[in-house]
């Protein structure tokens, strides 16, 4: 018999976070989260996502053993401001038993109906900066700290339960050697001169911070027309600034500004921390942080986390300026592989940015929908 229990206490939420450690034990492609950071992200007193959303966390048990988990999320900003009556679910994991999946999603469906919502969609997080999608291709590729990994049967379970694909996401990779600096240097020079633009590089986090709010404003403008986009509010800006920006090497953040210092483009990249997370087993202390420091200083893999261009400057070659600056930094750092985070299949504009680098699709993932 399968029973469902809500994870409410900190101990129970830790069980919720650590369940995948047993599910993916010895899997060479799964990347664990930082346990304490994930637990904190579920705390309404810490994560500002709870200012406009609510979430409940459920564990499935059989014979007193955890066999699955799911988070049921209601984003009121999305529902009230965008009129999208969606019940979200995320942090979705289970053993290969369709009955476990059925019970977990039935709980999410029950909550959705209680709020008079129209459909379920997942796996998704609280916002556009959270992880997204069930992996459908690329199970033999190492994951990243900003994506979920899952077994191949997840897709099968969802389809058996009447879910259909809602959105598709692509994860691309390309070799750094495919980036030809002469081409981008020429284009960057022309674009800078034509539009009076300049590149802004940083040597310290202190130099980055004054620009971060403007970067998130630009992020909202850049992606506002994409389906399911929920803008980042002022409180969330502060949270992400403190949680992520101080963690990222400032040399991996690049901005482009006009003659009045207004941002027109930005990109945020990171060295890959996947292997560091695997070695640390999700714990920074007592010695896990040493693996992160090593990965931060010496790494052949770079992940393009965020990139945005102001609508007025899209399709005008502004990204050539960003690529020119990254070529300088990545050459110095010894980067060999460039990895892109999940991009919507429909986002042709962002895909066009990389066409000169001979990229290939390494993974595919999807969210799934079911009417209530």
- The residue-averaged pLDDT of 313-322 equals 90
| Residue 106 CB coordination number (10 Å) | 11
Output the DSSP codes for 339-365.
EE--EETT-HHHHHTTGGG--EEEEEE
Q: What is the pLDDT of residue 226?
A: 66
Residue 87 phi/psi, 5-degree rounding, is: -100, 115
Kindly list the domain boundaries of the chain, sorted by start residue: 2-170, 174-366
Which of the pair, 77 or 22, is modelled with greater confidence?
Answer: 22
Find the length of the chain: 372
**Do the domains at 2-170 and 174-366 have one common CATH topology?**
yes
Q: What is the pLDDT of residue 227?
A: 61
The CA-CA-CA angle for residues 285, 289, 290, to 5°, reads 120
- Return the closest-CA partner of residue 323 out of 174, 145, 128: 174
> How far is the C-alpha of 139 from the C-alpha of 134, rounded, in Å?
11
236 bridge partner residues: none
Statement: residue 29 has pLDDT above 90: yes
Helices (H), the chain: 10-23, 35-41, 76-81, 98-114, 153-160, 181-195, 205-223, 234-243, 274-280, 288-297, 319-333, 348-352
- Return the closest-CA partner of residue 94 out of 131, 58, 147: 58
| Residue 365 CB coordination number (10 Å) | 24
In angstroms, the Cα distances linking 368 to 79, 104, 263, 274 are: 18, 15, 36, 26
The overall pTM is greater than 0.85 = yes
> How far is the C-alpha of 271 from the C-alpha of 273, rounded, in Å?
6
Statement: residue 230 has pLDDT above 80: no
Q: What is the mean pLDDT of the chain?
A: 92
CATH code at 174-366: 3.40.630.30
Q: What is the pLDDT of residue 245?
A: 78
Statement: residue 87 has pLDDT above 90: yes
By CB neighbour count within 10 A (0-12 exposed, 13-18 middle, 19+ buried), where does 286 fall?
A: exposed
- Do 18 and 131 touch, CB atoms closer than 8 A? no
- The residue-averaged pLDDT of 328-352 equals 90
* Highest mean pLDDT pick, 17-21, 285-289, 351-355: 17-21
Q: To the nearest whole percent, how much of the chain has pLDDT over 90?
A: 69
Q: To the nearest whole percent, how much of the chain has pLDDT over 70?
A: 99
Q: What is the pLDDT of residue 167?
A: 95
- The residue-averaged pLDDT of 30-52 equals 93
* Highest mean pLDDT pick, 41-55, 98-112, 125-139: 98-112
Statement: residue 225 has pLDDT above 80: no
- The residue-averaged pLDDT of 33-57 equals 93
CATH 3.40.630.30 holds for 2-170: yes
- 62-66, 77-81, 362-366: least confidently modelled range: 77-81
**Which of the four pLDDT bands, split at 50, 70 and 90, describes residue 268?**
very high
> How far is the C-alpha of 310 from the C-alpha of 344, rounded, in Å?
18
Q: What is the pLDDT of residue 15?
A: 98
**pLDDT one-digit tens code per residue, 91-110:** 999 999 999 999 999 999 99
The CA-CA-CA angle for residues 40, 43, 44, to 5°, reads 140
> How far is the C-alpha of 44 from the C-alpha of 310, rounded, in Å?
32
In angstroms, the Cα distances linking 366 to 82, 130, 345 are: 22, 14, 10
- The residue-averaged pLDDT of 109-128 equals 95
């Amino acid at each position: 018999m399968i029973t469902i229990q809500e994870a409410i206490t900190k101990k129970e939420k830790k069980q919720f976070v650590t369940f995948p450690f047993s599910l993916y034990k010895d899997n060479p492609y799964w990347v664990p989260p930082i346990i304490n950071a994930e637990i904190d992200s579920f705390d309404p007193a810490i994560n500002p996502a709870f200012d406009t959303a609510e979430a409940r966390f459920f564990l499935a048990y059989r014979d007193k053993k955890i066999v699955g988990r799911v988070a049921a999320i209601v984003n009121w900003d999305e529902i009230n401001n965008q009129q999208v009556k969606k019940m979200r679910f995320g942090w979705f994991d289970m053993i290969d038993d369709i009955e476990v999946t059925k019970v977990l999603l039935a709980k999410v469906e029950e909550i959705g109906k209680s709020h008079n919502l129209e459909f379920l969609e997942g796996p998704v997080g609280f916002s556009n900066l959270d992880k997204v999608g069930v992996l459908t291709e690329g199970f033999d590729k190492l994951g990243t700290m900003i994506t979920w990994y899952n077994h191949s049967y997840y897709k099968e379970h969802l389809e058996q339960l009447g879910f259909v694909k809602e959105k598709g996401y692509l994860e691309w990779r390309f070799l750094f050697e495919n980036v030809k600096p002469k081409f981008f240097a020429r284009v960057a020079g022309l674009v800078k001169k034509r539009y009076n633009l300049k590149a802004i590089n940083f040597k310290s986090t202190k130099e980055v911070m004054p620009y971060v709010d403007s970067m998130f404003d630009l992020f909202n403008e850049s992606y506002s027309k994409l389906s399911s986009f929920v803008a980042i509010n002022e409180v969330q800006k502060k949270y992400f600034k403190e949680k992520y920006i101080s963690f990222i090497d400032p040399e991996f953040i690049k901005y482009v500004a006009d003659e009045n210092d207004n941002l027109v483009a930005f990109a945020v990249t990171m060295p890959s921390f996947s292997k560091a997370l695997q070695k640390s087993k999700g714990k920074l202390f007592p010695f896990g942080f040493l693996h992160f420091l090593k990965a931060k200083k010496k790494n052949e893999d770079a992940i393009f986390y965020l990139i945005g261009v102001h609508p007025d400057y899209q399709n005008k070659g502004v990204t050539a300026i960003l690529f020119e600056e990254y070529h300088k930094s990545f050459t110095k750092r010894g980067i060999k592989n460039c990895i892109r985070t999940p991009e919507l299949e429909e986002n042709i504009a962002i895909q066009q940015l990389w066409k000169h680098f001979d990229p290939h699709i390494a993974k595919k993932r999807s969210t799934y929908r079911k009417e209530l």
